[in-house]
A and B are shown apart, each in its own frame.
Chain A
Amino acid sequence: MKDENSVQEAPVQGDIVSEAQQEAEQASSSRALYEVKMKFLGRTGKITALLKGMRDIAAEKRPSFGKKVNDLREKLEALFAAHEARMKEKELESKLAREQIDVTMPGRRAKKGGLHPITRTRQELIDIFAGMGFEVFEGPEIESEYYNFTALNTPADHPARDMQDTFYITDEFLLRTQTSAGQIRLMEQKKPPIKMLSPGRVFRSDDDATHSPMFHQMEGLVVDRGITLCDLQGMLDEFARTMFAATSKTRLRPSYFPFTEPSVEVDVSCAACGGKGCPLCKGTGWIEVLGAGMVNRRVLENCGVDPDEYTGFAFGMGIERIAMLKYGIGHIRSFTENDVRFLEQFKD
């Protein structure tokens, strides 16, 4: 009986609950808490032991005993649920604390390369003129004397041949000195209306601080009915505004090229000082940017275009020169040295 009594006394809720409460509070981890929980609620835990003890209880007392044990289990479950939630939160906090990073450490990424400033400038120029309806035509770099000179109204004995020191391969073939050669090749294939850009490598037998034996030019050609010098300036104004500054202006002044007549030198107002005069423009407010002119009638004739029906203009600029102005590059040599510290500065 004594046993019976003790069993009956066992589910004194307060004792077990406070014991569980005490032990749960002492648990320092989810694992420890789980073990405590199992001690009370597990298969071999105290609640199971109580239920097993039901056999020894008088049948009439069993329902009330069972109810008490169930109440006790519910209390314990609620108790452990609360502790588990608290423990989870605590553990998350400590996990987050552990996972704190130094957000100022460098990021990691795939290394990027970049396009050469000549390619970039060339593309920028193409984009400007493509929007005005220019197509892009590339001629050969080794040219015949005919396309580079003769057809451009520069026969063998012409003084203008001295203007450009030419690299010759044979008497007939040479390294083109100007992309103007592209004018002839295109006009032989295509009749007006023409709006063409011809970018590419050109060569001059010149090598000093400001000249490179190889550099790049961009030739532009427009041939149509009724094209005038005013149209030339209008188009170049548009170019200058897009390429340099919205307020850029152009100035024409007389010059000479055998394949244009009249010929002009085109200055653009200095974008650095807005035309007031600064070291970049040598105090003049203007920067010499390109050569241009109305296409010489002989050049049109040489390509089978009737100069009485069509007129046109042509312009040519050095891509290095534009890039130097745009990026403030001081030395033309930088473009072919391919120093990665130089090239690295040109990426998107």
Chain B
Amino acid sequence: MKIPFSWLKEYVKIDISAEALEEKLFSCGFEVEELIYLGKDVEGVYTGKITKCEKHPDADRLTVCTVDCGEKGEKQIVTAATNVFEGAVVPVALDGATVKHEGGVQKIKTGKLRGVTSEGMFCSGEELGIGDDFYEGAEVNGILILEKDTPLGADIRPIVGIDDYIFDIAVTANRPDCQSVLGIACEVAAVLKIPHGGFLPPCPYKAVPSDVGFTVEVKEPALCPRYIGSYVKNVGIGKSPQWLRRRLSLCGMRSVNNIVDITNYVLLEVGQPMHAFDRRFLHGDKIVVRSAEAGEKITTLDEKEFTLTPENLLICDAERPVALAGVMGGRNSEIRADTTEVFFEAASFARDSVRKTSRALGQRSDSSARFEKGVYPVFPQYGMLRALWLVDTLGCGTPTEKWYIPNFCDLEAPPRKKIKTSYAAIDGLLGIHVPKEEVNAILGRLGFLIEDRGEEFSADVPHWREDVDGFPDLAEEVIRMYGYEHITPTFLENATVTHGGLTPVQKEELRFKEVLAGEGYFEAYGYSFYSPKDLDLLRFPAEAPERRAVTVKNPLGEDLSVMRTILAPTMIWNVVRNVRRGNETGRLFELANVYLAEELPLKALPEERKHLSLALWGEGDFFDLKGALEAIGEAFGLKFAFCRCEKPFLHPGAAAEVLLGEKAVGWLGELHPAIAAELALERKAFFAELDYPLLMRKACKGIVFRPVPKFPAVERDLAVVVDEKVTCAEVEACILRACKAAQKAELFDVYRDAKLGEEKKSMALRITFAPDPAAEKPLSPETIDGFFRKIVGSLEHTLGAHLR
């Protein structure tokens, strides 16, 4: 919200600097995002009167002027401008001055032009950063000619209206009343403790009886709770006075003509969007506020045509739409140069309705922006009063007496909200004691009417403060004006002692991540959504459960439109991105939710289920990644089994299902080379994904201690020749089954040779035999030999193996 300092000063006698005011505003909840000094780039420019003009001796196009700069002395200025004359008062940039120049700043120095000394430069409006809205004649081609009676040797900035500041203020969503100069003025008066008359300054205007009758019919009272129309006759369309145009310009608005400017001025000053219709084009002298019919069309002031739906609210005359309610007027009824009768509209429209229309049509305006923030019911009245006062003051028309309103409205101000509370309640919330005199004074300055009943009090809320409706709101008003520096930090003096920390499940999750970090994996964080194309990339068939995804209705783009049902796509992209950036090797994991819908579209919250995603690329292979799973298994007491499987996105020869007992808990494998090629991923990459809750359900919940055996375990190596199709897991399982004392059997070598036979391989395993913890003597070589024979027998019998 842009607020000019000079405009603010019209309502509040501010006697502190703009910088000091910025701090005051900050302290009471209005952050000034930018404080702009309009004269920032213009320094050392003074007024001077040209006393003599002579042709330059050596240059036809240059004129040598003698200038009387009052206190600054007599100066000689050489100029190329052709609009200067003896007697003209002009801005003179003296030696050392700065002026605006092509979006930057130019420094002026005394110098010679074709041999003649020039002690500075005359300035155009552009060099001072102003147009006609600031000073009449500023836009002429040449030097700015000032009024004849302008004092000489004076700083140019106050004269052309750039000795001024703009406060760009961030207004919080609860304060639509402060989306206006008058609203901010109330706050400024309160924070500076300057008496203030209320929101709206007096707006006396002369009105005559109307000889025309208008009717206003609102068919959607919920969408248009207030509508005020007023008829102005004898209108003379023309230019607005310069002070008004300057104010519009300071706030970033363009001057159009006096009537349109009045509506915009009221928008900025009061915060009430207004519209003016040319009565000639308001058929039947009638206003109907209704929803659009499907397919109905309107062309707005900016000549854009829109096709409407019943979601859009329209202002119509007896026959046709004349404005898009709260957004923009229609082209068919706009104010023209020959307009003589005007019908002003000041209304309030439901925020949501304006927002929906504005968004759906992509049509935004200052008016729609204001309505979206909210316009309180009292404001149409304030706006209309101000607009008619301006019409009368500027003499651009004759207001008439009657205001036209729909039958369900009245013009009586609704009764003020009354909050009954106690001073102790305010203190209790804040935790400090604020003297009641302070409470009363602060609230009084903010426009509340206070009735002090000793320990209790009541506060009548001003009409423009609909946001206030309970004692905590009053407490906030008090403390933001009293000052947050009065809050003295305490540490929960009254609170009960509670026991904090992570739950066992949360602790377990952290430990889970730490195990992976210990295995060399870095934790990644991915977006919870991806592109449906990512599911295509992984070649999921149409009926795959991964395709049953929750989708975002209004995504930022297709790339972020589908909630994850599997983490792998994000992880694949992580690897691709890393390799593209030259990170040839790496290991990543992510532990995050996938979203599984019972029913689509959603009828209930979807299940959020944590998955573990792992990736490894560059160095290492399938078995390194598998090692990470084994590390998890070891840390959490899980015994994973692996069997070959097929996944559309994995290498068919290097893909495994991960099992816990009989239950599949995830998969592991190499990215399908065809997908890698599609991604131009030249490094082999391995991925795994596990269902985290399934793991944790089986996880060992604590440490189960077993006594250490008295005697050492004994290791024996075994090499057997088996058919190529026999897996390591089968051999291992067979060994462990055959002999109870065999604690583990670990493969350490696989050997293939023609001598072994076609489709044969030799597998070497190291078997660890552990003695019974209760045993009284160590395992004898004879016992081990016995175990060994049993194992070999079993391998021969079940797997057709023979000792090598």
CB of A300, distance to nearest CB on chain B (Å): 11
What 1/0 flags go to A119-140 for Cβ under 8 Å of B? 1000100100111111110101
Q: Are B373 and A231 in contact (CB under 8 A)?
A: no
Q: Shortest beta-carbon distance, B9 to chain A, in Å?
A: 24
Q: How far is the CB of B635 from chain A (nearest CB, A)?
A: 14
Residue interface mask B550-569, A partner, CB < 8 A = 1:
11111110001001000000
Partner of B476, one of A132, A231, A237, A263: A263
Known: A115-B513, A340-B522, A340-B586. A214 touches B527 (CB 8 A): yes
Give B498-524 as 1s and 0s: 1 = Cβ < 8 Å from A's Cβ atoms.
Answer: 111111001000100110111111111
CA distance A221 to B502 in the complex (A): 16
C-alpha gap A133/B492 in the complex (Å) = 11
Known contacts A113-B516, A131-B500, A169-B551; A159/B602 CB under 8 A? no
- Is A55 in contact with chain B by the CB < 8 A criterion? no
Whether B494 lies near A141 (C-beta < 8 A) is no
Tell yes or no: B429 within 8 A of A by CB. yes
Q: Is the CB of A115 within 8 A of B480?
A: no
Asked if A338 and B525 make an inter-chain contact with CB atoms under 8 angstroms apart, the answer reads yes
CB within 8 A of B429: which of A228, A238, A250, A258? A228
Q: Are B520 and A110 in contact (CB under 8 A)?
A: yes
Asked if B429 and A195 sit within 8 Å, CB to CB, the answer is no
Closest chain-A Cβ to B454's Cβ sits at a distance in Å of: 21
Q: Is B740 an interface residue (CB 8 A)?
A: no
Q: How far is the CA of A244 from the CA of B487 in the complex (A)?
A: 22
Q: Whole-angstrom distance between the alpha carbons of A346 and B522 in the complex?
A: 9
Does A296 belong to the interface (CB within 8 Å)? yes
- B484 and A142 contact, CB distance less than 8 A: no
* Contact among B372, B487, B518 with A113 in the assembled complex (CB-CB below 8 Å): B518
Is A337 interfacial (CB 8 A cutoff)? yes
| A45 in the interface (beta carbon within 8 A) | no
Among A113, A230, A235, A250, the residue within 8 A (CB) of B517 is A113
Residues of B within 8 A of A168 (CB): 552-554
Closest beta carbon of chain A to B375's beta carbon, Å: 11
CA distance A341 to B560 in the complex (A): 25
A217 within 8 A of B: no
Q: Is A269 on the interface with B (CB-CB < 8 A)?
A: no
| A253 contacts partner chain B, Cβ-Cβ < 8 Å | yes
A214 surroundings in chain B (CB, below 8 A):
527-529
Given known contacts A168-B553, A297-B472, A114 and B494 CB-to-CB distance under 8 angstroms:
no
Contacts of A123 in B (CB 8 A): 510
Q: Are B431 and A228 in contact (CB under 8 A)?
A: yes
**Shortest CB distance A186–B (Å):** 13
Q: Are B602 and A234 in contact (CB under 8 A)?
A: no
Stretch at the interface among B23-31, B51-59, B238-246, B298-306: B23-31
**B489 contact from A110, A175, A234, Cβ within 8 A:** A234
Q: What's the Cα separation between A296 and B470 when bound, in Å?
A: 10
Docked Cα-Cα span, A250 to B488, in Å, equals 11
Contact flags A316-348 to B (C-beta < 8 A → 1, else 0): 000000000000000000011111110110111
Q: Given the interface contacts A134-B500, A338-B588, does A230 sit within 8 Å of B431 by beta carbon?
A: yes
Measured CB to CB, the closest approach of chain B to A37, in angstroms, equals 39
Within the complex, which residue of A114, A193, A253 is in contact with B496, where a contact is CB–CB below 8 Å?
A193
How far does the alpha carbon of A261 sit from the alpha carbon of B472 in the complex, in Å? Answer: 6
Main secondary structure of the interface of A (DSSP, over half): mixed
CA distance A229 to B374 in the complex (A): 29
Find the A residue at minimum CB distance from B578. A340
Given the interface pairs A113-B522, A335-B525, A340-B522, the reply to whether A261 lies near B470 with Cβ below 8 Å is yes
Which of B131-139, B141-149, B167-175, B744-752 is near enough to bind chain A?
B167-175
Rounded to whole Å, the gap between the CB of A160 and the closest CB of chain B is 5
List the B side residues contacting A256 at CB < 8 Å.
Answer: 29, 172-175
State which size class the interface on A falls in.
35 or more
Is A283 located at the chain interface by the 8 A CB criterion? Answer: no
**Which of these, B472, B490, B577, contacts A294 with CB under 8 Å?**
B472
Interfacial chain A residues near B500, Cβ < 8 Å: 129-135, 195
In the complex, which residues of chain B have a beta carbon less than 8 angstroms from the beta carbon of A162? Answer: 173, 355, 372-373
Count B interface residues, CB 8 Å.
89
**A226 interfacial by beta-carbon distance below 8 Å:** yes
User: A-B pairs with CB below 8 Å: how many?
Assistant: 258
> Does A225 make an interface contact (CB < 8 A)?
yes
Contact of B498 with A159 in the complex, beta carbons under 8 Å: no
Contacts of A222 in B (CB 8 A): 492, 495
Cβ-based interface call for A157 (8 A) = yes
Segment 205-241 of A: residues with Cβ below 8 Å from B: 205, 207, 213-214, 222, 224-231, 233-235, 237-238
Q: Is the CB of A119 within 8 A of B476?
A: no
B593 in contact (CB, < 8 A) = yes
Inside 8 A of B577's CB, which chain A residues have their CB? 337-339
- Determine whether the beta carbon of B516 is less than 8 Å from that of A229: no
Residue B581 at the A interface, CB < 8 A? yes
Known contacts A113-B518, A113-B519, A262-B475; is-contact A141 B528 (Cβ 8 Å): yes
Cα A180 to Cα B506 with chains together (Å): 20
Write the nearest CB–CB distance from A199 to chain B, whole angstroms: 10
State whether A111 touches B520 (Cβ < 8 A).
yes
A264 lies within 8 A of chain B by Cβ: yes
- Known contacts A135-B503, A234-B491, A297-B470, A116 near B523 by CB under 8 Å: yes
Given A123-B510, A251-B484, CB of A336 within 8 Å of CB of B525:
yes
Distance of A205 Cα from B554 Cα, bound (Å): 8
- Interface presence of A70 (CB below 8 A): no
Which residue of chain B lies nearest to A131 when distances are taken between CB atoms in the complex? B500
> Given A157, A160, A167, which contacts B555 in the complex, CB threshold below 8 Å?
A167
- Residues of chain B in range 147-181 having any CB-CB distance to chain A below 8 Å: 172-176
- Does B465 sit within 8 A of A, measured CB to CB? no
Most A CB contacts (10 A, CB to CB) among B429, B563, B589, B602 go to: B429
Contacts of B351 in A (CB 8 A): 157, 159
Cα distance A112–B578 in the bound complex, in angstroms = 18
Q: How far apart are the CA atoms of A130 and B355 in the complex, in Å?
A: 43
Q: Mark B579-611, 1 if CB is under 8 A from A, else 0.
A: 001010011110001010000011001101000
CB-CB under 8 A from B773, the residues of chain A are none
Nearest CB of chain B from residue A182's CB, rounded to whole Å? 14
Residue of B nearest to A293 (CB): B476
Interface status of B69 (Cβ within 8 A of chain A):
no
A120–B176 alpha-carbon span in the complex (Å): 40
Task: Check: A177 CB closer than 8 A to any chain B CB.
Answer: no
Interface residues in B204-227 (C-beta closer than 8 Å to A): none
CA gap between A8 and B475 in the complex, in Å? 127
Taking a contact as CB atoms under 8 Å apart, the answer to whether B520 and A254 are in contact is: no
**A317 to chain B: closest CB distance in Å?**
17
**Interchain CB contact (< 8 A) of A338 among B476, B488, B524, B554:** B524
A264 to chain B minimum Cβ distance, whole angstroms, is 7
Q: Is the CB of A170 closer than 8 A to any CB of chain B?
A: yes
Q: Binary interface profile of B, 223-238, with partner A (CB < 8 Å = 1, else 0)?
A: 0000000000000000
Task: Tell me the complex Cα distance, A119–B516, Å.
Answer: 14
**Interface flag for A50 (CB, 8 Å):** no
- Our pick among A169, A231, A297 for the contact of B492 (Cβ within 8 Å) is A231
Let me know if B724 is at the binding interface, CB within 8 A.
Answer: no
- CA gap between A255 and B614 in the complex, in Å: 43
Indicate the member of B513, B525, B578, B589 with the most A CB atoms within 10 Å.
Answer: B525
**CB-contacts of A152-200 with B (<8 A):** 156-157, 159-160, 162-163, 167-170, 172-173, 175, 193-195
A-B contact pairs, 6 of them (CB 8 A): A112-B520, A114-B523, A141-B595, A228-B429, A230-B490, A339-B577
Knowing that A169-B601, A173-B605, A343-B523 touch, tell me 20 more A-B residue pairs with CB under 8 angstroms. A113-B516, A113-B519, A131-B500, A133-B498, A135-B500, A159-B174, A162-B372, A167-B552, A193-B496, A195-B498, A201-B528, A205-B554, A222-B495, A224-B495, A250-B489, A262-B430, A262-B479, A294-B472, A336-B527, A340-B522
Q: What are the nearest 8 A-B pairs in CB distance?
A: A228-B431, A254-B29, A230-B431, A262-B476, A226-B494, A256-B172, A234-B489, A133-B498
